[in-house]
């Protein structure tokens, strides 16, 4: 019993420590609060006001990533009539939003500084690299799709129709090209200058400079600077982002911050529960014992009492019996005397005579 | 008392067997389709809706309704309520089967099921709440398995090893409560990472607390509900102790459930007040929320209380079934109905008939195994050689 108890506590301890170690996190993307992004990491600035909706970036993306050709060719702009999202073999899409004049927005993974997908993945299949790209390791993925639930931008897609080796797919920010010092395929292909790549810090400074220089051209908001803790992709726009389906209610809390509370409760539960429960057990055991003792005492008392009662009864019975016996004897004696007297009255008189 | 099955010649073509046979056959076909053509061939899941009934019902409801295991064993062994003793074994069995089926269902849902041990043995994503769920469910399944083995050992006549396991009861029970607290609450915390997708009436920082508290009365109601069914269909396998204690167990759990449900409602109220979400209550979503909270928690709690006061078993049983329904509704709301509430209706998820069929198949499998075990092993009755320990 002793050994197994120690073992059991050891087990719980490992659970608590494992979790506790997970809270501060490593700087690999599934990170805790302190992590404020890799220094000098790269990003892309998408100036929505400059985009002409030519779909050249989509075409380049397919080429670079060896994706299968789409059903409608890239120069067929009729697809812009419908709203599309990223898909298993489509890492980026351009959508058109009509207001006073058409506005085009490119969508892809935003490569968050503290990615929800990486924080959510229970096998660490996602990693935020120092270059800025959030990359996915197919060899670890179990396919639980919690990353898709977690991504606030609805980016990752799943290969639902593969039976044996389905993957999560999304934009890689052309991580291999970045490592060679090259630019992402889409940025290279954009003919309108709507995509600029560079160091994220510099892009933010540049974006604000643009806003200040052309205040009538832009809304005063660099999308992605703070959204969900900040993203490597940044956006400038001439009208509120929510009009183009980009959520402005995401808040600035990063994903790890959102789940830090429940994660930090783990060591508390693991530490406190066993102690409390053992206490409760001890109390209930003791209650039981006391109850048993009381019961026994009560029984004993009852026994004593009933014994005494019995004795008393016996005593009165004896007394009564004795009384009865006595009176019977008396009666008999009296009777005998009377009989004797009746039979022979003389001797008494003789005595008197003497 | 022990049923050998031999003396009563079993009829093969009973309605129960026919229906079960059909469901199992259909399930077999669906299984084949799922593993040869992929998840997409049998489900309506898509990129915006990555989780459907297999998670919302099979995982979330399965785990919540299997909470009877830890609730009952804690009541009996930790809180010393010996009158619950005859309810422990059926509850542990249900819990074990429940969790085993949850794991089975996950094999259908995840893309590469053979990698399910990865989070524990290959690459630990400790920042993920799903990791915590996975680890705890894995450990708890082991605990439940060990907790149930005495029944199997008694059946097989292995006295020595049974005695060893019985000695561990207290430790296993405490371990079970700790693990249950963790994963029941983490299942709720899973959704805390997506505040932008879950409707504000359901999203809360208290999600883990809600899930844990509701798992308690879910477990109690499930024990009552299950014993209702067992009394109806498996009565001949029960012994006198079980029959004698059943009424007390139902009343005791009904009373406890009513209290816990009131507590749950108060925490929910606090949650709404803190987030200042009163204004949503007058919207359509608010109505739906009230249906869940008033209609499926507050009202059954009242029915429980009435049943206890009048010592009316019928009330208690109906209240239990109602509460179980309420728990299912709550879990489905959070995982599917109020999730992605902002998407246009043509992008919302509705399960395919094949997805539902797979879930029905898995539940049926559970019922068949439960029946198999309870008609053979000493679960609903004590083994004559081993009176209450
Ligand atoms: S946008 Fe989504 S997929 Fe891309 S890094 Fe952020 S959370 Fe991950
Ligand atoms: S689907 Fe794969 S990458 Fe996404 S969370 Fe699950 S294991 Fe991680």
pLDDT tens digit sequence for B164-194: 999 999 999 999 999 999 999 999 999 999 9
- pLDDT band at residue A157, thresholds of 50, 70 and 90? very high
Q: Do B182 and A266 touch (CB under 8 A)?
A: yes
Closest CA of chain A from B316, distance in Å: 27
Closest partner residue to A269 among B130, B131, B182, by Cβ? B182
Closest CA of chain B from A81, distance in Å: 17
Query: In angstroms, rounded to a whole number, what is the distance separating the alpha carbons of residues B383 and A66?
Result: 66
Residue range B46-374 forms a domain whose CATH class is mainly alpha
- Pocket of ligand 1 contains residue A111 by CB under 6 Å: yes
Nearest CA owner, ligand 1 atom 6: A112
Nearest in space to B250 (alpha carbons), one of B219, B225, B216: B225
A42-47 vs A233-236, strand pairing mode: parallel
Q: Which two tokens stand for residue B223?
A: 């024990």
Mean pLDDT for the stretch of residues A70-85: 87
Q: Do B208 and A121 touch (CB under 8 A)?
A: no
Q: Do B112 and A143 touch (CB under 8 A)?
A: yes
- Pocket of ligand 1 contains residue A61 by CB under 6 Å: no
Chain A: residue whose CA lies nearest to B82:
A288
The number of the ligand 1 atom at minimal distance from the alpha carbon of A126 is 8
Residue B63: partners with Cβ closer than 8 Å, 6 or more residues away = B98, B99, B102, B137, B183, B184, B187, B215
**Cβ(B136)–Cβ(B187) under 8 Å?**
no
**Cβ(B83)–Cβ(B182) under 8 Å?**
no
Q: Does B165 touch chain A (CB under 8 A)?
A: no
**pTM, to two decimals:** 0.86
Q: Do A273 and B174 touch (CB under 8 A)?
A: yes
Nearest CA owner, ligand 1 atom 8: A117
Nearest CA owner, ligand 1 atom 4: A109
Chain B stretch 12-71, residues whose beta carbon is closer than 8 A to a beta carbon of chain A: 35-41, 43, 45-48, 50-51
H/E run at residue B133: helix B129-156
ipTM of the complex: 0.91
**Cβ(A219)–Cβ(A200) under 8 Å?**
no
Query: In angstroms, rounded to a whole number, what is the distance separating the alpha carbons of residues B53 and B71?
Result: 26
**Cβ(A152)–Cβ(B196) under 8 Å?**
yes
Chain A: residue whose CA lies nearest to B120:
A123
Q: Do B189 and A262 touch (CB under 8 A)?
A: yes
Please tell me which residue, B243 or A184, carries the higher pLDDT value.
A184
- Judging contacts by C-beta atoms under 8 Å, the chain A residues touching residue B170 are 281
Closest CA of chain B from A220, distance in Å: 23
Nearest CA owner, ligand 2 atom 8: A121
Inform me whether the pLDDT recorded for B292 exceeds 90. yes
Q: Model confidence over A306-341: pLDDT tens digits?
A: 888 889 888 988 888 888 888 888 888 888 888 888
Q: Model confidence over B349-387: pLDDT tens digits?
A: 999 999 999 999 999 999 999 989 888 888 888 888 886
- Pocket of ligand 1 contains residue A112 by CB under 6 Å: yes
A-B interface: how many C-beta pairs under 8 angstroms? 208
As a three-state string, the secondary structure of chain B is CCCCCCCCCCCCCCHHHHHHHHHHHHHHHHHHHHHHHCHHHHCCCCCCCCCCHHHHHHHHHHHHHCCHHHHHHHHHHHCCCHHHHHHHHHHHHHHHHHHHHHHHHHHHHCCCHHHCCHHHHCCCCCCCHHHHHHHHHHHHHHHHHHHHHHHHHHHHCCHHHHHHHHHCHHHHHHHHHHHHHHHHHHHHHHHHHCCCCECCCCCCCCHHHHHHHHHHHHHHHHHHHHHHHHHHHCHHHCCHHHHHHHHHHHHHHHHHHHHHHHHHHHHHHHHHHHHCCHHHHHCHHHHHHHHHHHHHHHHHHHHHHHHHHCCCHHHHHHHHHHHHHHHHHHHHHHHHHCECCCCCHHHCCCCCHHHHHHHHHHHHHHHHHHHHHHCCCCCCCCCCCCCCC
How confident is the model at residue A344, as a pLDDT?
A: 65
- Judging contacts by C-beta atoms under 8 Å, the chain A residues touching residue B178 are 12, 269-270, 273-274
Query: In angstroms, rounded to a whole number, what is the distance separating the alpha carbons of residues B363 and A175?
Result: 45
- Pocket of ligand 2 contains residue A118 by CB under 6 Å: no
- pLDDT band at residue B307, thresholds of 50, 70 and 90? very high
Query: In angstroms, rounded to a whole number, what is the distance separating the alpha carbons of residues A55 and A78?
Result: 11
How confident is the model at residue A336, as a pLDDT?
A: 85
Pocket of ligand 2, candidates A142, A156, A167, A170: which has the most ligand atoms within 8 Å of its Cβ, to mutate? A142
Q: Model confidence over A14-70: pLDDT tens digits?
A: 444 444 444 333 334 444 445 666 778 999 999 999 999 999 999 999 999 999 988
How confident is the model at residue B178, as a pLDDT?
A: 95
Mean pLDDT for the stretch of residues A137-151: 96
CA–chain centroid gap for B360, Å, is 15
Mean pLDDT for the stretch of residues A101-122: 95
For chain B, the structural domain boundaries read 46-374
From residue A347, give the alpha-carbon distance in Å to each of A96, A339, B121, B291: 156, 14, 126, 118
Q: Do A120 and B193 touch (CB under 8 A)?
A: yes
Scanning the structure block, which residue is given the tokens 């009009």?
Answer: A243
- Judging contacts by C-beta atoms under 8 Å, the chain B residues touching residue A261 are 189, 192, 205
């Amino acid at each position: 019993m002793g050994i197994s108890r120690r073992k059991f506590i050891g087990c719980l301890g490992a659970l608590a420590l494992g979790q506790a170690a997970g809270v501060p996190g490593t700087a690999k993307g599934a990170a805790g609060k302190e992590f404020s992004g890799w220094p000098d990491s790269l990003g892309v600035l998408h100036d929505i006001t400059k985009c002409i909706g030519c779909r050249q970036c989509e075409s380049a993306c397919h080429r670079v990533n060896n994706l299968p050709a789409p059903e409608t060719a890239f120069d067929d702009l009729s697809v812009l009539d419908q709203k599309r999202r990223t898909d298993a073999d489509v890492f980026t899409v351009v959508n058109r939003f009509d207001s006073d004049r058409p506005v085009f927005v490119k969508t892809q993974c935003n490569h968050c500084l503290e990615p929800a997908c990486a924080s959510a993945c229970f096998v660490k299949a996602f990693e935020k690299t120092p270059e800025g790209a959030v990359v996915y390791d197919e060899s670890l993925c179990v396919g639980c799709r919690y990353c898709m639930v977690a991504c606030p931008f609805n980016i990752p897609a799943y290969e639902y129709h593969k039976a044996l080796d389905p993957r999560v797919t999304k934009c890689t920010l052309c991580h291999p090209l970045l490592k060679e010092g090259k630019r992402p395929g889409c940025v290279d292909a954009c003919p309108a200058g709507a995509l600029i790549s560079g160091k994220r810090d510099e892009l933010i400074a540049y974006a604000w400079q643009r806003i200040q220089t052309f205040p009538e051209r832009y809304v005063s908001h660099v999308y992605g600077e703070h959204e969900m803790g900040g993203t490597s992709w940044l956006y400038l726009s001439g009208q509120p982002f929510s009009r183009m389906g980009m959520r402005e209610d995401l808040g600035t809390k990063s994903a790890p911050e959102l789940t830090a509370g429940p994660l930090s409760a783990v060591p508390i539960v693991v530490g406190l529960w066993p102690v409390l429960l053992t206490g409760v057990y001890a109390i209930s055991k003791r209650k039981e014992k006391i109850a048993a003792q009381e019961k026994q005492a009560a029984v004993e008392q009852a026994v004593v009492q009933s014994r005494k009662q019995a004795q008393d009864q016996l005593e009165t019975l004896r007394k009564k019996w004795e009384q009865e016996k006595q009176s019977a004897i008396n009666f008999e004696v009296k009777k005998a005397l009377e009989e004797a007297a009746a039979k022979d009255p003389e001797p008494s008189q003789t005595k008197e005579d003497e | 008392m022990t049923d050998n099955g031999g003396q009563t010649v079993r009829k093969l073509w009973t309605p129960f067997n026919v229906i079960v046979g059909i469901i199992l056959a259909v399930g077999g076909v669906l299984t084949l389709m799922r593993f040869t053509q992929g998840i997409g061939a049998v489900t309506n899941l898509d990129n915006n809706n990555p989780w459907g009934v297999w998670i919302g019902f099979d995982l979330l409801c399965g785990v919540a309704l299997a909470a009877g295991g830890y609730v009952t064993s804690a009541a009996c062994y930790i809180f010393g309520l010996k009158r619950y003793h005859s309810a422990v074994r059926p509850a542990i069995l249900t819990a074990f089967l429940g969790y085993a089926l949850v794991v089975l269902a996950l094999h259908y849902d995840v893309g590469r099921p053979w990698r399910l041990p990865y989070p524990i043995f290959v690459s630990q994503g400790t920042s993920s709440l799903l990791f915590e769920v996975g680890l705890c469910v894995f450990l708890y399944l082991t605990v439940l398995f060990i907790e149930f083995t005495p029944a199997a050992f008694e059946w097989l006549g292995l006295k020595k090893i049974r005695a060893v396991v019985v000695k561990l009861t207290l430790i296993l029970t405490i371990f079970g409560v700790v693990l249950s607290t963790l994963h029941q609450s983490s299942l709720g915390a899973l959704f805390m990472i997506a505040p932008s997708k879950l409707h504000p009436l359901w999203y809360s920082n208290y999600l883990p607390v809600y899930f844990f508290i509701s798992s308690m009365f879910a477990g109690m109601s499930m024990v009552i509900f299950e014993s209702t069914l067992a009394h109806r269909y498996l009565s001949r396998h029960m012994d006198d102790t079980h029959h004698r204690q059943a009424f007390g167990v139902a009343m005791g759990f009904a009373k406890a459930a009513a209290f816990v449900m009131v507590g749950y409602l108060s925490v929910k109220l606090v949650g709404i007040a803190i987030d200042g979400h009163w204004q949503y209550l007058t919207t359509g979503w608010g109505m739906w929320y009230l249906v869940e909270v008033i209609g499926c928690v507050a009202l059954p709690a009242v029915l429980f209380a009435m049943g206890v006061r009048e010592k009316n078993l019928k009330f208690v049983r109906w209240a239990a079934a109602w509460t179980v329904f309420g728990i299912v509704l709550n879990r489905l709301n959070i995982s599917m109905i109020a999730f992605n509430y902002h998407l246009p209706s043509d992008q919302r998820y509705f399960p395919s008939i094949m997805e539902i069929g797979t879930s029905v198949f898995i539940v049926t499998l559970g019922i068949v195994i439960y029946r198999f075990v309870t008609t053979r092993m000493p679960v609903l009755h004590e083994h004559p050689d081993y009176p209450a320990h």
